[in-house]
Amino acid sequence: MNRWTKVIGTGGYLPPIIRTNDDISSMVDTSDSWIYERTGIKSRRIAGPEETASSMAEIAARQAIDMAGIAATDIDMIIVATGTPERVYPSTACLLQERLGIKHAVGFDIQAACSGSVYGLSIADQYIKTGFANNVLVVGSEICSRIVDWSDRSTCILFGDGAGAILLTAGTEPGILSTHIHSDGGYEDLLYCPNPQVAAEAKQHELAFISMRGNEVFKVAVNTLGRIVDETLAANGLQQSDIDWLVPHQANTRIIAATAKKLGMSMDQVILTLENQGNTSSASVLLAFNEGVRDGRIQGGQTVLMEAFGAGFTWGSVLLRY
């Protein structure tokens, strides 16, 4: 009998502080209309000074565990995707494990920038399908506001903070149908964030933050996401019309619209959270999926395509039957 990976719980956390486009317009030379027209973003959430990647991950994870109706101690693997860990080590996954009171599990972080949650789901799927793990918690948790230069209008308008979680278990029916992950290290200069240690040693302020050539990233993202859609459909012998929901990484409405068009989907079939969350990096796909599940748009038996693209470049997709 086949062993499949099934979603049994989702969760999400957004910090209470809201930073609007008008707030940013008082910090740098920009405007609400420019930001909204170019990106689709109106506001984003900002973590408070006491919050960390693991504290936000815990809230999202507990929601997923509650929905699943299992005990936290039933989880045997914890995968956290983050580019903003509070410690280089221990990993955020280990810190989360302690917060959740799970003694017998393996926890580790992955670094795939904005593709982190899709990478995490792909890794979890391999471990569940092979029988190595039964219940896997995947979390994306990001405090992007701490690695954004709030005097750089080309990047500070885009990012926000948040955490998303998903709980997966082994089942006899699909489940995750396929996952596809890729990277190409040849694009380092278009989008990067140095290790803070490097900035401290060099005493160069700009080395502490995200650096991006947005226009060039945009073009590669649109083309690459178009290819991953083709790859995912072909691998499953599916047509565009077989997909009920697109749950994309939330970087820019125009990038998302291009992917939806490639799938022949209307924007009504896309879970969009960008407007009031901005780009929450590895948290964004899980936050969007959680929203779609909890507000009842994504129904049992429906086919969902998740996709993401991020620094590296990294990119990937997950096709699942909910």
Q: Tell me which residues are annotated as active site.
A: 114, 249, 279
On whether the CB atoms of residues 298 and 304 are closer than 8 A, the answer is yes
Single out the residue of 18, 20, 36, 38 in contact with ligand COA (rule: CB under 6 A).
Answer: 38
CB of 186: closest distance to ligand COA in angstroms?
A: 16
Distance CA 2, CA 170 (A): 10
* CA 147 vs CA 13, 56, 90, 193, 294: distances in Å: 19, 17, 20, 8, 30
For residues 9 and 316, which CB has a smaller minimum distance to ligand COA in the complex? 316
Burial 195-225 (b: 16+ CB within 10 A, else e): eeeebeeeeeeebbbbbbebeebbebbbebb
For ligand COA, which residue of 18, 34, 76, 149 counts as binding (CB under 6 A)? Answer: 34
| Residue 306: CB minimum distance to ligand COA, A | 14
Give whichever of 35 and 138 is closer to ligand COA, judged by the CB atom: 35
- The angle formed by the CA atoms of residues 37, 39 and 43, to the nearest 5 degrees, is 95
Pick the closer one to ligand COA by CB: 122 or 135. 122
154 touches ligand COA (CB under 6 A):
yes
| Residue 114 is a binding residue for ligand COA (CB under 6 A) | yes
Q: Least distance (Å) from ligand COA to the CB of residue 87? A: 24
- The whole-angstrom separation of Cα 94 and Cα 273 is 29
Residue 90 preceded by cis peptide, ω within 30: yes
> What letter would DSSP give residue 207?
G
**Under the criterion CB under 6 A, does residue 252 sit at the interface with ligand COA?**
yes
In the complex with ligand COA, the residue whose CB is nearer, 74 or 149, is 149
Q: Which CB sits closer to ligand COA, 225 or 298?
A: 225
Candidate ranges 9-17, 63-71, 152-160, 236-244; the one touching ligand COA (CB under 6 A)? 152-160
Looking at 32-40, 78-86, 94-102, 260-268, which segment touches ligand COA (CB under 6 A)?
32-40
Which one, 30 or 43, has the nearer CB to ligand COA? 30
Stretch that binds ligand COA, among 10-18, 28-36, 120-128, 193-201 (CB under 6 A): 28-36
Residues 277-316, mask of contacts with ligand COA (x by CB under 6 A): --x-----------------------------xx------
Helices (H), the chain: 21-25, 32-39, 53-68, 92-100, 116-129, 196-202, 214-236, 253-262, 274-277, 284-294
Of 218 and 322, the one with the shorter C-beta distance to ligand COA is 218
Tell me, rounded to whole angstroms, the distance of Cα 244 from its chain centroid.
20
Per-position x/- string for 189-228, each x denoting binding to ligand COA as judged by CB under 6 A, each - no binding: -----------------------x-xx-xx--x-------
Q: Using CB atoms, what's the residue nearest to ligand COA?
A: 214
What single DSSP character describes residue 184? -
Count of residues binding ligand COA (CB under 6 A)? 20
Q: Within 10 Å of residue 25's Cβ, how many Cβ atoms? A: 17
Enter the DSSP assignment of 44.
Answer: E
Report DSSP letters for 269-307, one per residue: GB---HHHH-B-GGGHHHHHHHHHHHTT-S-TT-EEEEE
What is the smallest separation between the CB atom of 239 and ligand COA, expressed in angstroms? 28
Sequence-ordered list of residues with C-beta below 8 angstroms from that of 160, at least 6 positions apart, any chain:
19, 44, 45, 46, 144, 145, 277, 278, 279, 280
Beta carbons of 78 and 137 less than 8 angstroms apart = yes
Query: Residue numbers of the site for ligand COA (CB under 6 A)?
Result: 30, 34-35, 38-39, 114, 153-154, 157, 212, 214-215, 217-218, 221, 251-252, 279, 309-310
